[in-house]
Amino acid sequence: QKEVEQNSGPLSVPEGAIASLNCTYSDRGSQSFFWYRQYSGKSPELIMFIYSNGDKEDGRFTAQLNKASQYVSLLIRDSQPSDSATYLCAVRGGSSASKIIFGSGTRLSIRP
Amino acid sequence: DGGITQSPKYLFRKEGQNVTLSCEQNLNHDAMYWYRQDPGQGLRLIYYSQIVNDFQKGDIAEGYSVSREKKESFPLTVTSAQKNPTAFYLCASSPSRRGTDTQYFGPGTRLTVL
């Protein structure tokens, strides 16, 4: 079992709709959870981080964390073509507190 | 401007040659990291350093070496022992070793073996 798992996609969502990206992790002691966006050929950029159970909203983005289910998600409201990218879920803490473990990413495509 | 810089942006290596990738940060971050990304895959940790003059192996350290002589610099050498070095190399830094700290990435170096 991978430490951080994501559906590779591609996930295709119509413009203006809500895109929902999901991630599960195996280390129950994990403390910090991150979502990065990566455009093709570019480096990852941080979108959201969340530490506590529940929802955290920032503009069109909402991160959701459920530690009991070891599940973290990212919702993108009013999806725009510029949101088309690969989204990387990352987890820190537990047995790997000094490093972040990345999932392999979900490719999101917003269709006009 | 504060940030993380990597050079060169593109690098070509001949078989049997060692090459060094540069990573510099002026964010006063304690921790620095090197990752490798292959097409369609996530990031794999090569080496990381939480303090000057100290570093630890990541998941795929074989064929690579690093140094951390200064807080702001963490160069990565890809040695001839690395059999398949063609990849996108990313350097990152975070303020400290705490479990909640976020990592910020440089622009990356794309290495190709000729």
Q: Tens digits of per-residue pLDDT, A84-104?
A: 999 999 998 777 667 889 999
Bond preceding residue B107 cis, omega within 30 of 0? no
Least confident of A43-47, A59-63, A68-72, B12-16: B12-16
Question: How many inter-chain contacts (A to B, CB under 8 Å) are there?
Answer: 56
Least confident of A45-54, B21-30, B94-103: B94-103
B69 pLDDT exceeds 90?
Answer: yes
Number of Cα atoms under 13 Å in the Cβ half of residue A68: 2
For residue B109, how many other CB atoms are within 10 A of its CB? 22
Residue in A36, A90, A92 nearest the CB of B99: A92
B1 pLDDT exceeds 80?
Answer: no
Window A:43-62, CB contacts with B under 8 Å: 43-46, 49, 51
**What is the per-residue pLDDT for B114?**
84
Q: What is the largest CA-CA distance in chain B?
A: 41
Kindly state the tokens that stand for A32: 């910090």
Mean predicted confidence (pLDDT) in A79-86: 97
Pick from B61, B66, B63, B64: nearest CA to B50: B66
Are the Cβ atoms of A45 and B58 closer than 8 angstroms? Answer: no
**What is the per-residue pLDDT for A88?**
96
How confident is the model over A40-56, as pLDDT tens digits? 999 999 999 999 999 99
Q: What is the mean pLDDT of chain B?
A: 91
Pick from A51, A106, A103, A31: nearest CA to B43: A103
